[in-house]
């Protein structure tokens, strides 16, 4: 008999349990994930493949999963049925302006709130936080009348104004946290010791270091504005000025969606493209880690 | 290469004064260390020299020029921060070249100077890396490289080693000292670690609560601490401080121990504090007596042994409850806890302080 024979053994799961998942569990996990993926991607796939099919093929039962004669005709058709490119341009203009203005304003506000202590700073922060706790539907009437009183109904400026206002609180909170963790004051001070003016330090050091945060805020505001349906349909009534989301909505009701399902889907595909392209270009900024190692960890 | 004169400098934050009139002259090429407990105003003083903090009153003079109102960029002073503050979006090379580039130096000069600094600091192979790809010690060296590359009038260091582990800290300590011996640039170095101060400084300035307690060479401070604060702060393990009074050329501790003094001990009837360093106490042996001690804890450290002991009153072991003292024995011997030993000391190595003012008595 060995000396350890009578001792109890601790169960062996503890430390590396997750490394020893048995095959069955692994298969189950993979299947669940695959199912989820299908669930998420199926509508997108449906949209994409339908935009290259004839309307007859789209509505066929059983469904035709791959276009038999892929054609860009539905895209032409969509352009004929509604002023698609005009709507896209409207959306681009409104969303870009809102994103740039919101990012610039919130970066400045967040920088001050992150760096300086002054009377009322806490109150300002608390108020900003408070706006995030109020359900956004409650804003419909006040904002509508506010914009009406300013004479900005049915103008792009009114829309931009609204989007900027809605995005700023969250953007300020996000960027303030970003400045606090990724841009310690020593960075500016080091730059000033190295020969920068105050503005030089901001321009050459703080701004490049905060680019991922600012990019995140810009993209966030852009997508919010781009995807908005509610405010665009409330604040704009002129056909010329519709954004793409509203335009697609009208497309469905006015042209009779069942007759032109393929063109409808083509319009939808085009409306997702700018967001996709944008994401493709900024994703390297959105990936964090750029600032790791600036200061002690 | 520059001299600095700090002349009655004060600093208030919103009406609350944290630096109370500090004056200090620093010679060309000197390595001065500001040391003191956390919150005593070391960083604030350093940042006033750097220009990162305004000066409430008094003057900072570099080479006969009052620089109080110059912005940091016009002072030609380099600073190494505790957090290193490397620019995360730039490579090591660009970090080091940044100040030269801002100063408009020609490209050839920049390359040469960066290369020279990188060679001194052993950074040549790391020049194309970003700070995130460096270890703590390497980042520390880049921070120093950024400082030395432009050959400034003055180096400032604010606790540059406190984010390193103990072993690296000892290594960087000697690297910084070596660097200074090589470049001879006037340096002001802040730390709260008295060992760092003792080992690196030409001159130590001990600060406490916004004032200078004492300034002098490490040996000055060790041998003649001007106050109780300095006595307790400098030296490791720290000095034993025993409260009592002087009577008939002997020291009577509050707990009743009687320690014979030398003839040149101060004469006063006021309460005094007797200071004696742990390494001035010797267990057993001949020499003048300090007293009987009960060993409570024995901590062997290889070449030395640290003993926590109780000084027994009246040489009578039965009383117990005397002053707690530390003894540092450099004799190779095995001590046993809970034994009573005779402890000797040279009365010439005693320090006396006024118990109320804390000032040194001669
Ligand atoms: N910007 C500031 N505003 C208000 N008080 C400050 C500021 N900076 C430092 N202090 C105060 O000044 C004192 C000295 O600080 P500091 O110089 O950083 O001490 P040390 O570097 O010796 O630890 C501390 O009591 C600290 O709280
Ligand atoms: Mg400090």
- Residue A143, by phi and psi: left (phi above 0), alpha (psi -120 to 50) or beta? alpha
Report the percentage of chain A scoring pLDDT > 70: 87
Chain B residues close to A208, C-beta within 8 Å: 89
pLDDT of residue A278: 81
Q: Would you kindly state where each structural domain of chain B is located, as residue ranges?
A: 4-227, 237-354
CB atoms within 10 A of CB A55: 19
Is A192's CB within 8 Å of B52's CB? Answer: yes
- B137 at the A interface (CB within 8 A)? no
Same domain membership, residue A111 and residue A60:
no
- Residue B58, by phi and psi: left (phi above 0), alpha (psi -120 to 50) or beta? left
Domain termination residue (choose one: A72, A98, A128) = A72
Same domain membership, residue A137 and residue A33:
no
Report the C-alpha gap between B23 and B188 in whole angstroms: 14
Task: Determine if the peptide bond prior to A48 is cis (ω within 30°).
Answer: no
pLDDT of residue A256: 64
pTM of the model: 0.78
pLDDT of residue B27: 96
Same domain membership, residue A278 and residue A201:
yes
Ion ligand 2: residues, CB within 5 A, are: B 43
Among B82, B88, B133, B188, most A C-beta atoms within 10 A, so best to mutate, is B88
Report the C-alpha gap between A24 and B90 in whole angstroms: 48
Which ipTM did the prediction report?
0.86
Same domain membership, residue A243 and residue A174:
yes
Same domain membership, residue A274 and residue A258:
yes
In 3D space, the residue among B183, B83, B184, B205 whose CA is nearest the CA of residue B136 turns out to be B83
B26 CB near ligand 1 (under 6 Å): no
Domain termination residue (choose one: A41, A57, A72) = A72
Same domain membership, residue A61 and residue A84:
no
- B139 at the A interface (CB within 8 A)? yes
Report the C-alpha gap between B290 and B283 in whole angstroms: 10
Is A187's CB within 8 Å of B84's CB? Answer: no
Same domain membership, residue A146 and residue A21:
no
What CATH number matches the domain at B4-227, 3.40.50.2300, 3.40.50.360, 1.10.10.10, 3.40.50.300? Answer: 3.40.50.300
3-state secondary structure of A142: helix
What are the tens digits of pLDDT across the range A18-58?
566 788 889 999 999 999 999 999 999 999 999 999 888 88
> Residue for token digits 């908005």?
A228
What are the tens digits of pLDDT across the range B140-153?
999 999 999 989 99
Same domain membership, residue A57 and residue A176:
no
Same domain membership, residue A148 and residue A33:
no
Can you give the CATH number for the domain in which A279 is found?
1.10.3720.10
Question: What dihedral do alpha carbons A266, A267, A271, A273 form, nearest 10°?
Answer: 30
Task: Determine if the peptide bond prior to A62 is cis (ω within 30°).
Answer: yes
Question: What dihedral do alpha carbons A277, A281, A282, A288 form, nearest 10°?
Answer: 120
Q: Of all atoms in ligand 1, which is nearest to the CA of residue B53?
A: 1
What are the phi and psi torsion angles at B230 (to 5°)?
-65, -40
CB atoms within 10 A of CB B56: 14
Say which ligand is closest to the CA of B83. 2
Same domain membership, residue A109 and residue A243:
yes
pLDDT of residue A16: 52
Number of domains present in the structure of chain A:
2
pLDDT of residue B245: 92
Domain termination residue (choose one: A46, A72, A98) = A72
Q: Containing domain of residue A261, as a range?
A: 78-296
* Fold classified for B237-354: OB fold (Dihydrolipoamide Acetyltransferase, E2P) (2.40.50)
Report the percentage of chain B scoring pLDDT > 70: 97
> Residue for token digits 């001669």?
B362
B12 CB near ligand 1 (under 6 Å): no
B13 CB near ligand 1 (under 6 Å): yes
């Amino acid at each position: 008999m060995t000396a350890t024979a009578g001792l109890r053994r601790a169960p062996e799961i503890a430390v590396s349990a997750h490394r020893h998942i048995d095959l069955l569990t692994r298969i189950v996990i993979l299947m669940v994930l695959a199912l989820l993926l299908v669930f998420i991607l199926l509508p997108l796939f449906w949209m994409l493949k339908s935009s290259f099919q004839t309307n007859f093929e789209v509505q066929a039962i059983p469904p035709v999963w791959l276009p038999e004669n892929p054609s860009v005709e539905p895209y032409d058709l969509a352009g004929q049925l509604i002023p698609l490119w005009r709507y896209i341009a409207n959306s681009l203009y409104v969303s870009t302006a809102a994103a740039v203005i919101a990012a610039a304003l919130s970066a400045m506000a967040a920088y001050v709130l992150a760096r300086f202590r002054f009377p009322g700073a806490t109150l300002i922060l608390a108020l900003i936080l408070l706006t995030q706790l109020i359900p956004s539907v409650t804003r419909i009437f006040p904002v509508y009348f506010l914009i009406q009183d300013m004479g900005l109904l049915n103008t792009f400026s009114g829309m931009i104004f609204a989007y900027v206002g809605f995005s700023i609180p969250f953007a300020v909170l996000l960027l303030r946290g970003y400045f606090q963790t990724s841009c310690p004051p020593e960075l500016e001070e080091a730059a000033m010791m190295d020969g920068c003016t105050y503005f030089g330090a901001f321009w050459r050091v703080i701004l490049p270091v905060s680019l991922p945060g600012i990019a995140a805020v810009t993209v966030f505001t852009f997508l919010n504005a781009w995807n908005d349906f509610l405010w665009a349909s409330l604040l704009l009534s002129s056909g010329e000025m519709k954004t793409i989301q509203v335009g697609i909505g009208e497309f469905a009701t006015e042209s009779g969606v069942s007759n032109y399902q393929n063109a409808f889907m083509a319009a939808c595909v085009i409306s997702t493209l700018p967001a996709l392209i944008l994401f493709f270009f900024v994703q390297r900024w959105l990936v964090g880690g750029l600032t790791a190692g600036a200061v002690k960890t | 290469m520059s001299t600095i004169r700090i002349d009655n400098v004060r600093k208030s934050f919103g009406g609350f004064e944290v630096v109370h009139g500090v004056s200090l002259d620093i010679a060309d090429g000197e390595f001065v260390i500001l040391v003191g407990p956390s919150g005593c105003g070391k960083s604030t003083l350093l940042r006033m020299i750097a220009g990162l903090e305004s000066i409430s009153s008094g003057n900072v003079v570099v080479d006969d020029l009052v620089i109080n109102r110059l912005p940091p960029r016009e002072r030609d002073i380099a600073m190494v921060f505790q957090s290193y503050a490397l620019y995360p979006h730039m490579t090591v090379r660009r970090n080091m070249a940044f100040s030269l580039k801002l100063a408009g130096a020609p490209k050839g000069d920049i390359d040469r100077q960066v290369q020279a600094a990188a060679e001194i600091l052993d950074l040549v192979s790391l020049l194309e890396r970003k700070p995130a790809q460096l270890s703590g010690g390497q980042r520390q060296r880049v921070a120093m490289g950024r400082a030395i590359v432009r050959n400034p009038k003055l180096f400032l260091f604010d606790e540059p080693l406190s984010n390193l582990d103990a072993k690296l800290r000892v290594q960087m300590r000697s690297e910084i000292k070596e660097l200074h011996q090589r470049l001879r640039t006037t340096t002001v170095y802040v730390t709260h670690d008295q060992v760092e101060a003792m080992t690196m400084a030409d001159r130590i300035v001990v600060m406490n609560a916004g004032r200078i307690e004492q300034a002098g060479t490490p040996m000055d401070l060790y041998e003649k601490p001007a106050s109780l604060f300095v006595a307790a702060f400098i030296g490791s393990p720290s000095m034993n401080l025993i409260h009592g009074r002087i009577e008939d050329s002997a020291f009577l501790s509050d707990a009743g121990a009687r320690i014979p003094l030398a003839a040149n001990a101060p004469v006063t009837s006021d309460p005094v504090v007797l200071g004696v360093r742990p390494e001035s106490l010797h267990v057993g042996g001949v020499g003048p007596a300090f007293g009987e001690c009960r060993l409570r804890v024995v901590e062997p450290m290889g070449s030395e042994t640290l003993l926590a002991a109780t000084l027994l009153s009246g040489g009578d072991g039965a009383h117990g409850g005397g002053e707690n003292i530390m003894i540092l024995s450099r004799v190779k011997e095995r001590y046993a806890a809970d034994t009573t030993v005779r402890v000797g000391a040279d009365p010439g190595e005693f320090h006396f302080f006024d118990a109320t003012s804390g000032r040194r008595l001669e």
